Structure 1
Amino acid sequence: MVATKRELRNHFDPEYPDFNTEYPDQLRVDQFLNEFEQFVRVRRELAGKASFSPARAGELPAFVLLYLPDDHTAGTRPGSPRPAASVADNDLALGRIVEAVSHSPYWEDTAIFALEDDAQDGADHVDAHRSIALVISKYSPGSSEQPFVAHQFYTTVNMIHTMEVLLGLPPMNQNDAFAPLMGPLFSGAGNQAPFAADWRNRNNGLIYQMNPPQGPGAEASSKLDFSRPDAAQASLLNAILWRDRKGDLPIPRPQHGVVPPNSRQEH
C-alpha cells in the first residue's frame, strides 16, 4: 500500500493488503498481529523497570484503524470464495483480533469498535440502512454467554463522538458534538474476561469453500467490478446475495425510515 495523503505518511503499514476480496482476511489479521505482538512484547519487557509508564510502554498508537473487507464478498463469481465463506472468514478475523487484544496488557485501556462501512443490505421489516455495531472492552456489560444488547438509536456519529471522548479529542463539528455518547456499552464492572476466537468455521472448512462455475448469479457476478470498495452495483449484488442465501424466496420491499420511532410507537 502507498500513502495517498500527506498525513498518512509514516502512520500506516505498507505491508497491509489493500482492498481485494480474493485475499483472505486471515492473512490481514496475521499481518496486524505480527505488529501488535511486537508492542505487547516491549510493554511486558518494560513493565518490571522502575521507569515504567503504562502510558508510554510499548508505544502502541492511541488510535488504530483496521479494516477487514472480505464481508463485501465477490457475489457468486466462479472461483471466488462463497459469500458464506467470505463472511465466516471476516468473522474469524475479527474474533482473532479480539482474542489477541483481550489477552494482552492493552486490555486494561483499549476499546474495539467494529461496524460495517456501508450498511445497505439485509432487507426485512426494518430499514436496511441499519447495521451491526460492536463495542468490546474490559468495561463491556454482559458476557460472551449473555451479551449486552443496547436498544438505543445510535448512528456512526454516536460512535465517532464516543471515540473522540475516549481519546481526549474535541468534536469536529456540531453533529458529533451533540451526538449522545454510547455510555451504556461501558457500564460494566471493568472485569470482562478475555475472549477466545471461534475457529469452528475454519475447522469445518467453510472459510475455504469456493463458488461453483455455474452457480446462481455467477454470470452477473462475473461482470461486477470488485476492484475497489463499492464499485459493484449495489442493488444487483444485493439480489445475487439474497438468491444465494434464500433461493427463490422473493426479496422484501425496502423499508425506509427517516427518524427513530419514539417511545409511544411500537415496532
Structure 2
Amino acid sequence: MTTTGTHPTPSAPQQQRGGEADPATAASLFADPARARVLMALVDGRALPASVLADEAGVSAPAASAHLAKLRDGGLVTMEKSGRHRYYRLSGPQVATALEALTALSPPRPVRSLRAHTRAAALRRARSCYDHLAGDLGVQMTAALVTAEALLPTDGIPDTRRRPRDPLSAQLRDHPYALGPRAEEVFTALGVDLAGTTRPSSPTRRPLLRFCLDWTEQRHHLAGRLGAALLTALLTRSWLTPGPRPRTLILTAEGHHHLPDILPLSPEELASTNT
C-alpha cells in the first residue's frame, strides 16, 4: 500500500526530556483490548487506514478514531494523509518490540472459530515482525544463514538456540553474531545489496545486525537493517507474498524452488511453513 506525505514529528510524550520514565502511561495504552488489536495489526510496519483498523479491532469507526487519537497522543502511532484518507503506522520498531514481548507473556486467546485457528497457525508459520521475517520460516532461515556461514556465532554456540540470558521475545540488547565469511556470496544470491546495506543508516543509526528471540519458536531470528533488507528482497522477488491478514506471509512456489539452491533448507522443512 502506497501513501504519500512525510512522517509527522514525534508527539509530545516522545519529545519530553528529564524525569523518570513512566511505564504505566504506555502500559495503559496497550491494556485496552481494542487498542491492542489495532497495534497488532500494525506490527508489520505498514500504514493502514482507520477503516481497516476498525475491522481488525472489531469496533465502530468512531470508536476506532477515538482509540487511534489516544495512541497518537501517547506516541505509539503516527498518522499521515493521502488525499482524503488518513493512514496510521507504528511510531517505530520499539513499539513492535514491546508488543512481541507482551505477546510472549500473554495467555492465548480462546479459539472459537476455524478462522481464528487458521490465523494463529499462519502467524506461527511466517509473519513480519515490524519489517523483518519471523515465525517458523524466520528462524529456519536464520539458522540456515548460520549453517551457510553467512552469519557467524561469536560465543561458541553453533546454532540459533536461546542463550541463557536472552529475554523472552524481545530484541536482544547484545547478540552473539557477526557477518560470516560467505556473507556477501549468500546475501547477494538472496537479492540483498550487502554493500549498500552495511553502510550506516544515518540519521537513524539502526544497527546492521540485530536479533530477536522469536516468541513462537524461542529461537533467534534476524532483525536490524540486514533483516529488513532480506525481507524486502524476498518480497520483491515474489518468493514471499503477504497473506490475507495483517502480518501473515506466505512462501510462494518460487520461494520453495529457489531457496534450497541458496540455503541449506530442505523442501520438507519449507513445506512445513505453509501447512
TM-score normalised by L of structure 2: 0.26
Larger relative contact order (CA 8 Å, sep ≥ 6): 1
The structure having more radius of gyration, on CA atoms, is 1
**More helix per residue:** 2
* Structure number having the greater strand percentage: 2
